[in-house]
């Protein structure tokens, strides 16, 4: 507001998501020849007291304008501004520290002939100290005129939790997955909140390194049957919760989306049946 209205109480349009203010970052020599829009890398941080071992989720909104606010944007291919939201679960204040967990978004405010606008971002981490550090960072690594960005509406809450209920051994190739979760009051009691729990589930064979998506956006009352490709082997499963508001209808504003952490993997052993129906030998494969 000071930048746009020239005072704390001045009346002017302020680019923001909520409240009366936002943070604006502008390139040096924004539109001044001969080299407008100098590169920059700016980080804001804040330390918060937390509970050690607690899962926390950070949501925030950012807007980047490569080439200024004129439309259509003249931002060249390969030139970008990176919006980044981060958490250091150890409480460190170095944005380049190895403990910082980042999420990045490079979308410009205008792409492919359409306005993209403000971008909501979420990141989560498990607190490893009594202090946790939040980071909001804008990087503009290439020089281009008009480059500037906004940061607003940062919200840290206890992350939504998820628990996967699944037997550790099954006979045959089918296992039924069930789950439950928890949404904390700092999410559900936001004014006008319609936040609900959604669950993502992933799996992998014990000899595979990469996780594969099994289900996305499941609700707490859902169940899921998984069919293994082989027996006498192990599959691993994990789950995470998300707190989001339905697209339709009213809800809390800003529209924060909170991302939970992936659970520890749960191992399920698929056993070969002792005998198939009618006494015939089982023909199930041992191959993954």
Whether residue 71 is found in the same domain as residue 154: yes
Whether residue 167 is found in the same domain as residue 153: no
Look at residue 194 and tell me whether its pLDDT is greater than 60. yes
Mean pLDDT, to the nearest integer, of 172-198?
A: 97
- pTM score, whole prediction: 0.88
CATH of the domain at 22: 2.60.120.260
Terminus-to-terminus CA distance in the chain, angstroms?
60
pLDDT of 66 reads 94
At 222, is the pLDDT very low, low, confident or very high (cuts 50, 70, 90)?
confident
Indicate the helix (H) or strand (E) that contains 266: strand 266-271
The last residue of a domain, from among 124, 158, 192: 158
pLDDT of 53 reads 98
User: Which structural domain range is residue 183 located in?
Assistant: 161-271
Whether residue 23 is found in the same domain as residue 150: yes
Has residue 172 been placed in a domain?
yes
Has residue 285 been placed in a domain?
no
Nearest to 133 by CA among 96, 94, 88, 100: 88
Whether residue 71 is found in the same domain as residue 112: yes
Whether residue 166 is found in the same domain as residue 69: no
Exposure class string for 65-84: b at 16+ Cβ within 10 A, else e: bbbbeeeebebeeebbbbbb
pLDDT of 159 reads 98
8 vs 219, higher pLDDT: 219
Whether residue 196 is found in the same domain as residue 264: yes
Tens-place pLDDT, residues 103-136? 999 999 999 888 999 999 999 999 999 999 999 9
pLDDT of 86 reads 98
Helices and strands counted in the chain (H then E): 2, 19
CATH of the domain at 239: 2.60.40.10
Q: How many domains does the chain have?
A: 2
CA distance 1 to 18: 12
Has residue 33 been placed in a domain?
yes
The region of weakest confidence among 37-46, 178-187, 227-236, 246-255 is 246-255
Whether residue 116 is found in the same domain as residue 200: no
pLDDT of 14 reads 82
Look at residue 279 and tell me whether its pLDDT is greater than 70. no
Whether residue 62 is found in the same domain as residue 172: no
Mean pLDDT, to the nearest integer, of 84-99?
A: 98
Whether residue 128 is found in the same domain as residue 17: yes
Could you tell me the two tokens for 250?
A: 């009213």
Tens-place pLDDT, residues 2-42? 666 666 666 567 899 999 899 999 999 999 999 999 999 99
Residue 23 phi, psi (nearest 5): -100, 130
pLDDT of 246 reads 93
Whether residue 171 is found in the same domain as residue 230: yes
The last residue of a domain, from among 101, 133, 158: 158
Q: Over the chain, what is the mean pLDDT? A: 92
Tens-place pLDDT, residues 238-271? 999 999 999 888 899 999 999 999 999 999 999 9
CA distance 276 to 262: 37
Long-range contacts of 176-183 (CB under 8 A, 24+ apart): 176/223, 176/224, 176/225, 176/226, 177/201, 177/223, 177/224, 177/225, 177/226, 177/237, 178/223, 179/218, 179/220, 179/239, 180/220, 181/220, 181/241, 181/260, 182/241, 183/241, 183/243
SS3 92: coil
The last residue of a domain, from among 139, 158, 177: 158
pLDDT of 7 reads 64
Look at residue 276 and tell me whether its pLDDT is greater than 80. no
Whether residue 148 is found in the same domain as residue 177: no
Whether residue 40 is found in the same domain as residue 125: yes
């Amino acid at each position: 507001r000071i930048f746009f209205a020239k005072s704390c109480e001045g009346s002017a349009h302020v680019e923001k998501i909520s409240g009366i203010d936002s943070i604006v970052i502008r390139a040096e020599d924004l539109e001044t020849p001969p080299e407008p829009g100098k590169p920059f890398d700016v980080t804001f941080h804040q330390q918060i007291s937390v509970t050690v071992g607690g899962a926390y989720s950070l949501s925030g909104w950012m807007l980047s304008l490569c080439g200024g606010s004129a439309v259509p944007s003249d931002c060249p291919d390969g030139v970008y501004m990176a919006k980044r939201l981060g958490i250091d679960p150890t409480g460190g204040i170095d944005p380049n520290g190895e403990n910082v967990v980042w999420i990045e978004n490079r979308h410009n405010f205008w792409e492919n002939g359409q306005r993209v606008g403000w971008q909501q971002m979420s990141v989560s981490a498990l607190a490893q100290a009594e202090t946790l550090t939040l980071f909001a960072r804008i990087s503009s690594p290439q020089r281009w005129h008009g480059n500037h960005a906004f940061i607003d509406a940062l919200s840290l809450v206890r992350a939504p939790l998820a628990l996967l209920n699944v037997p550790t051994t099954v006979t045959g190739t089918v296992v039924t997955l069930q789950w439950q979760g928890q949404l904390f009051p700092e999410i559900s009691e936001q004014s006008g909140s319609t936040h609900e729990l959604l669950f993502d589930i992933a799996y992998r064979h014990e000899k595979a390194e990469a996780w594969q998506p099994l289900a996305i956006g499941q609700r707490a009352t859902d169940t899921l049957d998984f069919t293994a490709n082989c027996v006498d082997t192990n599959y691993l499963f994990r789950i995470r919760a998300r707190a989001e508001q339905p697209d339709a209808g009213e809800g809390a504003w800003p529209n924060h989306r909170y991302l939970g952490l992936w659970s520890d993997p749960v191992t399920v052993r698929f056993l070969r049946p002792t005998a198939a129906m009618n006494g015939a030998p089982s023909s199930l494969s041992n191959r993954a």
